[in-house]
Amino acid sequence: MLMDTESPESLILGDWEEVSWKYEKLNHNNVLDFDIDDFQKQEICRNLIIHKAETWRFGPDRTLSFLEGGVIKEDLKWNIKGRGNILELQHQNTIVEDYQVVGISENELVVQFNFDLQVRGIVKMTFKRIPQKQYAQKI
C-alpha cells in the first residue's frame, strides 16, 4: 500500500482521524483478527502510551499534534525511518514510540504496534484523512 510516486513523509502530512483499532492474535497455528471495543482499548491503554485523540495532525516541521474536539492535547516530534515503514514519535520527556507503517495512501493510514494482552499479538490502528477545506479565492 506504500506508493512509489510520493514519499511517506509527504503522504503523511495533514490531519488524520482515528477510525478503528483491530487486535490480531498471533499463535503458532493461525492468526485471529477482531475489532477492539472501548473496554479492551482502555485495558491496552493502561500500560502503554496511547494517544486518546480524535485527530492526529502531522506538520511539515515534523511536529505531531494530538487534537480532541479541535483542541491540541499534546505536541511531539515525528520521523519516518527505515524504508518508510517505521513511524517514530518522540515525546518532550525523551520517550520514543515506534509504530510499523502497514500502509499509507492519499486517504488512509494504517499503523500497528506489538502488544502482549494475555496472548502475543498486534494492534492495528486505521486512520482516514480529514480533507482540507478549499475556499474560493476572491479575484
57, pLDDT greater than 80: yes
User: Domains in the chain, ordered, with CATH?
Assistant: 8-129 (2.40.128.540)
Per-residue pLDDT of 98-109, as tens digits, reads 999 999 999 999
pLDDT of residue 1: 47
- Can you give the pTM of this predicted structure? 0.74
Q: Select the more confidently predicted residue: 27 or 61.
A: 61
Quickly count: other Cβ atoms within 10 Å of residue 28's Cβ: 4
74, pLDDT greater than 70: yes
Burial class, 29, CB count within 10 angstroms (exposed 0-12 / middle 13-18 / buried 19+)? exposed
Mean pLDDT confidence for 81-94: 90
pLDDT averaged over every residue in the chain: 81
Contacts of 136 (CB under 8 A, 6+ apart): none
13, pLDDT greater than 90: yes
Let me know the angle formed at the C-alpha of 17 by 23 and 120, rounded to the nearest 5 degrees.
Answer: 15
Q: How far apart are CA 118 and CA 134, in angstroms?
A: 47
